[in-house]
Structure 1
Amino acid sequence: MTTTTTPTAQITVYDVTLRDGNHALRHQASRELVRDYCQLADVSGVDYVEVGHGNGIGASSALVGFSLETDEVLLTTAREALTRKKLAVHCIPGFATVERDVLPALANGVDLVRIGTHVTEADTGAKHLTAVREAGREAVSVLMMSHMATVERLVEECVKVEGFGAQAVVLMDSAGHFSPADVTARISAIVDAVGIDVGFHAHNNLGVGIANALAALDAGATIVDGSSAALGAGAGNAQLECLAAVLVQEYGVDLGELTPFFRMGSLIAERAAGHLPKTTSSSVISALAGVFSGYAPHVQAIAEELNLEPALLWRELGARKVVAGQESIIREIARDLMDLS
């Protein structure tokens, strides 16, 4: 992968604001927001800008929410604004197919595709990885809900995706469940086992998003995700402005002037006012329960409608090991809890 390089550090800074942040916006990011943000990001120290529906290309649907703009509009708008930085997308097999979604995205100028699978189901991404590599673009495997596997199983899956041709593997703490110690144990084991770049995607449900991102770097990761104003699912992601400042000050990474990062954060704070994430009791409970951060608005709405304590619903979702993409089952589980009460 293309990286920001200095004599003391070689780190890829990956911006998920316009994709994970779209969860917080209920997938309503406009072409104007994408254009204006990408123009700022293009002169910043980020390496990649990820754009799209919160669940990735091809995901706009009644199940997970309809996007305000089509994938094509979002990607062509971003591509026109990005003249220096690389354009990336998130892709979940099952939502996205190679022919309908991946190949058109590549035709619209996407440089890198992240193929996201449930942590123990990396096999489902093999076809997508192969298609991206055959097209001459960068292909990265993302293991979502990574807290749901042991360290040993994580290593197995990472070795597997390396064999499929992934050029990097990224652990996604989709529930914001990890502590820095958890991150250290997993990243260090993976770095020792594979010969490709390793990355980490934090969520801030326990208030340790930045700490976890730094723990990953200290353990040998070379890719780190961040989001301006922390805009993202649940309590948001590692805040990009803070992350950039620490990378420069403590890690010696040359990100150029930090001013563009601050402008990016200010733009999001202005345009996404009312949607900015924060760590709440609900987000903490969801993290402890190990439930996908993106379920927060669904849980809150259903709990209010049924006069149900959100904590009870979060815990039951965790007990049933519900994973991303199962929005339709949340109401069913809530009604089960109502019947029990």
Structure 2
Amino acid sequence: MLKILDCTLRDGGNVVGKGFDANLTSMMLKALIDCNVDYIEMGNSGGIGAYEVAGFTKAETDEKYLELMQPYAATGKVGMFLNAKRYRQKYVELAAANHLAFLRVGVDADEPDLAIEPIKVIKKNGMKAFYSAMKAYIVSPEELAESAKKLEAAGLDEFTIMDSAGCMLPDEVEKTVELLTKSVSIPIAFHCHNNLALSAANALAAYRGGASVLDGGLMGMARSAGNLPTEAGIAVLQKYGELKHINLYSLLQFINDDLEPIMKKDHDYHNPITPFDLVLGITGLHSSKSALFKKVAAETGVNLYQLMVHTAVIDRKNPSEDLIRKVAGEIKA
């Protein structure tokens, strides 16, 4: 079963400094858990320990982030990043004591040996050990496969190919993922950046290559040009029959009603693909009908996105107001 790892609360923290404040962190954690997203990577953008070791203090402390995730610790979904060059055993022990489900060790793809000791200590402390091959494109796919074999032997649970600069092309992504899935038995994940506007295309390529996990960030939030928008990745893959366990429309409602307004007001962040525009893409409805759908949804009190989806099943070319109102009535009934 394909899974999503949402890393808004880690990589997305670069949008506001080095991490989100307590209010935004709590908001997003609750929404992601409520919508049944598979994994959530949270905390300081530089990973656990970066506040102290690297001076990444434009964020909450590690202890504060760990406190905020306690209501969700039992879900087994929440973890943090750990840069291998900032590894200290005490950070692994802190994570384990606060019931994190995983730590994802990251290091440049040509330095995998730096991850071996952290992986072993993570496993010894009872957590899952994930790995990110950062700047995966600086080595050959064959070298990545050898790294994956070595780290799997050390106890690794998941290997992420990280396109850190968003420079990889879909055919390259598919071939690399396919090679790694044939080389090891652990899940292969892919982390897309959007510098060439290929994050969704690369996510699809990774899926076709056999990836088990796709990374994303709400509204695409991440460093530089951003990540694959989590909601767009879910929408695309649901068209292929995947990720049906995630409540996409509740997630879109949260983005529209809560996240998008506060990010625009407090941080001048503009969502590149609004929930409404994403639903147009999901349904095939034309934007010329936008005002009509919004009007009927507001007057009848039905969920706008649900109304659009149900109407499009009947007529996505030119739905009349009568049809839209009829569908709204059926939804309310």
Pairwise TM-score range, normalised by the shorter structure: 0.7 to 0.9
The one of 176, 186, 202 equivalent to 1:212 is: 202
Q: Please name the residue that 1:54 is paired with.
A: 45
Q: Say if 1:171 and 1:64 are closer, same or farther in 2 by CA, change over 3 A.
A: farther
Which is worse superposed, 252-261 or 154-163? 252-261
Q: Say if 1:253 and 1:263 are closer, same or farther in 2 by CA, change over 3 A.
A: same
Q: TM-score by structure 1 length?
A: 0.74
Q: Distance in 2 between matches of 1:160 and 1:252?
A: 30
Q: Please name the residue that 1:285 is paired with.
A: none
Q: Say if 1:209 and 1:264 are closer, same or farther in 2 by CA, change over 3 A.
A: farther
The residue type equivalent to 2:139 in the other structure is: A
Q: Secondary structure at the match of 2:130?
A: strand
Q: Please name the residue that 1:42 is paired with.
A: 33
The one of 67, 71, 89 equivalent to 1:76 is: 67
The one of 167, 177, 184 equivalent to 1:194 is: 184
CA contact (8 A) 1:231 1:237 kept: yes
CA contact (8 A) 1:55 1:92 kept: yes
Q: Secondary structure at the match of 1:263?
A: helix
Q: Distance in 2 between matches of 1:13 and 1:159?
A: 23
Q: Distance in 1 between matches of 2:86 and 2:247?
A: 38
CA contact (8 A) 2:160 2:191 kept: yes
The residue type equivalent to 2:178 in the other structure is: S
Q: Distance in 2 between matches of 1:63 and 1:134?
A: 26
Q: Say if 1:167 and 1:81 are closer, same or farther in 2 by CA, change over 3 A.
A: closer
Q: Say if 1:60 and 1:256 are closer, same or farther in 2 by CA, change over 3 A.
A: closer
Deviation at 1:178, TM superposition (A): 0.5
Q: Distance in 2 between matches of 1:63 and 1:277?
A: 30
Q: Please name the residue that 1:227 is paired with.
A: 217
| Residues paired across the two proteins, number | 269
Which residues in structure 2 correspond to 1:282-293 (within 5 Å)?
none
Larger Rg: 2
Which residues in structure 2 correspond to 1:253-268 (within 5 Å)?
253-266=243-256, 267-268=258-259
Deviation at 1:264, TM superposition (A): 4.2
Q: Please name the residue that 1:275 is paired with.
A: 269
Q: Distance in 2 between matches of 1:249 and 1:144?
A: 29
Which is worse superposed, 263-272 or 216-225? 263-272
Identity of aligned residues (%): 27
The one of 13, 22, 40 equivalent to 2:4 is: 13
CA contact (8 A) 1:42 1:85 kept: no
The residue type equivalent to 2:131 in the other structure is: S
Q: Distance in 2 between matches of 1:159 and 1:212?
A: 24
Which residues in structure 2 correspond to 1:1-341 (within 5 Å)?
10-60=1-51, 65-81=56-72, 84=75, 86-99=77-90, 101-266=91-256, 267-273=258-264, 274-276=268-270
Q: Distance in 2 between matches of 1:175 and 1:264?
A: 29
Q: Distance in 2 between matches of 1:63 and 1:98?
A: 16
The residue type equivalent to 2:23 in the other structure is: E
Deviation at 1:61, TM superposition (A): 5.7
Q: Distance in 2 between matches of 1:193 and 1:112?
A: 23
Q: Say if 1:114 and 1:26 are closer, same or farther in 2 by CA, change over 3 A.
A: same
Deviation at 1:82, TM superposition (A): 5.8
Which is worse superposed, 238-247 or 58-67? 58-67
Q: Distance in 1 between matches of 2:237 and 2:204?
A: 9
Q: Distance in 1 between matches of 2:64 and 2:87?
A: 17
Q: Secondary structure at the match of 1:94?
A: helix
The residue type equivalent to 1:41 in the other structure is: L
Please list the CA deviations of residues 130-184 of structure 1 after superposition, one character each: whole Å capped at 9, or x if unmatched. 1111122111111101011111211111111111110110111111111111101
Q: Which has the higher helix share?
A: 2
Deviation at 1:276, TM superposition (A): 4.7
Q: Distance in 2 between matches of 1:31 and 1:275?
A: 18
Q: Say if 1:254 and 1:276 are closer, same or farther in 2 by CA, change over 3 A.
A: same
Q: TM-score by structure 2 length?
A: 0.76
Deviation at 1:95, TM superposition (A): 1.9
The residue type equivalent to 1:163 in the other structure is: A
- Which segments of 5 or more consecutive residues in structure 1 lack a partner in the other structure? 1-9, 280-341
CA contact (8 A) 2:4 2:215 kept: yes
CA contact (8 A) 1:87 1:111 kept: yes
Q: Distance in 2 between matches of 1:159 and 1:105?
A: 26
Which is worse superposed, 260-269 or 173-182? 260-269
